[in-house]
């Protein structure tokens, strides 16, 4: 578990307290001391800081969120790395995530349709840009009140968002994300598109109206349900017309081609199916059918509030699913994504080669060339050319007379 950074300061953000903890990050309530506004500061977990893949996912979340401008997508203010800590500063949503509302029991049909219609609008806009969220679930839907008129929804957590991607896995083949609302093609690592998010939205429709996800139990049970089993009939769990079963069944078809054209079409079909139902009261629970809903808790659920009254930004401790140890990171995650990391021996070898080249150049420059022949000196004074065989063949005298001056 990452250290609590409450009371500390990261860049120009003063951390005031914990909002929620997740599998890869901790989200804090913080104050931007420059602008004097409250923000939600998401900081990557210290235990994942050396993991290149999670750092990449964290940076992807910031880039993907900043590239999207929509009323139902949580606005991003800033992201950076300080002293090895990656952080994202977002709007502080004073409210609760959708998983907290579902935990309290089934929602009314009217409220369900109002909230999910906003989610569908945000997702369809995302899909129109060629992006897929890949982690649509109640914990990533923040619910607040905007201008006191109605509940307003923000879709958050774009760490798995991809463009033209296959089901997101690590380089070692592990699945990343929560399997509770994951589509079969996502779990299998097959190509994904907007219909993958639509599958998750249909599962959320089931959860909002029943108070629980369609498949429960251990991780493998949940995965097996999404891969092989039909979603249980909602009308046998709560008092709703069978027409809603057809809507959910189509939205959660194992074959993406059999699903709705987009998320808005799914919500509109649900609205038609629930038209004759009392919209202002929650559907009465009929109880799980035999074998449909095991008594075990869901594979992942909302974390309890860490501090204060805020209940948004909560993540699951079991999310993401990770089966292998992390890879080590050699460079900052904020370096260019297209640059390949060089092996550790590369720099010393290059330095040695450069040194050898420099030495060779210095030797060549300083080595003397062919000197020109020296000219004999002319002087009026007598001189001796010792050993000069070209000028004289006489033997050297054994004594030289010296004239003294008077």
List the binding residues: 42
Binding-site annotation, residues for ATP: 42
Is the bond into 203 cis (omega within 30 degrees of 0)?
no
d(CA 119, CA 64): 17
Residue in the structure block whose two tokens are 């929650």: 282
Residue in the structure block whose two tokens are 């996800």: 213
* DSSP states along 277-340: S-TTSPPPB--PPTTTS-SSPPSS-PPPP-SSS-B-S---TT-S---SPPPBP-S-TTS-TTPP
d(CA 58, CA 24): 9
Nearest to 23 by CA among 140, 163, 143, 178: 178
Reported in sequence order, the residue ranges of 134-189 that DSSP labels E, i.e. its strands, are 141-146, 150-155, 162-163
Residue 121 region by backbone torsions, left for phi larger than 0, else alpha for psi between -120 and 50, else beta? alpha
Q: Which of 135, 157, 245, 319 is catalytic?
A: 135
Nearest to 208 by CA among 114, 92, 74: 114
d(CA 45, CA 319): 13
Known catalytic residue: 124? no
d(CA 166, CA 329): 24
Q: Within 332-400, where are the H helices?
A: 346-366
Nearest to 214 by CA among 197, 196, 231, 238: 231
Catalytic residues: 135
């Amino acid at each position: 578990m990452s250290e609590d950074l409450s009371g500390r300061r990261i860049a120009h953000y003063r951390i005031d307290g914990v909002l929620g903890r997740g599998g890869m990050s901790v989200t804090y309530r913080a104050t931007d001391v420059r602008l004097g506004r409250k923000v939600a500061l998401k900081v990557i977990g210290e235990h994942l800081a050396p993991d290149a893949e999670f750092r990449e996912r964290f940076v992807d979340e910031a880039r993907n969120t900043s590239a999207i401008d929509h009323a139902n997508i949580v606005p991003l203010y800033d992201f950076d790395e300080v002293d090895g800590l990656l952080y994202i500063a977002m709007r502080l949503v004073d409210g609760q995530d959708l998983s907290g509302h579902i935990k309290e029991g089934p929602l009314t049909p009217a409220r369900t349709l109002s909230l999910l219609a906003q989610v569908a609008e945000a997702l369809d806009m995302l899909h129109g840009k060629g992006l897929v969220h890949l982690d649509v679930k109640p914990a990533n839907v923040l619910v607040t009140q905007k201008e006191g008129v109605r509940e307003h929804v923000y879709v958050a957590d774009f760490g798995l968002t991809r463009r033209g991607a296959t089901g997101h896995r690590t380089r070692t083949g592990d699945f990343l994300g929560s399997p509770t609302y994951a589509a079969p093609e996502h779990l299998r690592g097959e190509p994904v598109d907007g219909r993958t998010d639509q599958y998750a939205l249909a599962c959320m429709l089931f959860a909002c109206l029943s108070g629980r996800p369609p498949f429960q139990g251990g991780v493998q049970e949940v995965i097996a349900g999404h891969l092989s089993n039909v979603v249980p009939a909602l009308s046998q769990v709560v008092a709703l017309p069978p027409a809603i079963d057809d809507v959910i069944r189509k939205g959660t078809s194992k074959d993406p081609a059999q699903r709705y054209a987009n998320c808005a079409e799914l919500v509109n079909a649900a609205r038609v199916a629930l038209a004759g139902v009392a919209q202002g009261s929650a559907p009465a629970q009929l109880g799980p059918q035999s074998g449909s809903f095991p008594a075990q808790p869901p594979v992942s659920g909302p974390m309890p509030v860490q501090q204060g009254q805020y209940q948004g930004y909560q993540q699951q401790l079991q999310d993401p699913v990770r089966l292998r140890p992390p890879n080590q990171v050699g460079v900052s995650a904020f370096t260019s994504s297209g640059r390949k990391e060089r092996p550790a021996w590369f720099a010393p070898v290059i330095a040695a080669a450069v040194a050898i080249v420099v030495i060779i150049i210095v030797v060549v420059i300083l080595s003397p060339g062919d000197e020109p022949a020296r000219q004999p000196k002319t002087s009026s004074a007598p001189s001796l050319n010792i050993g000069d065989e070209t000028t004289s063949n006489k033997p050297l005298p054994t004594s030289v007379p010296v004239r003294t001056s008077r």
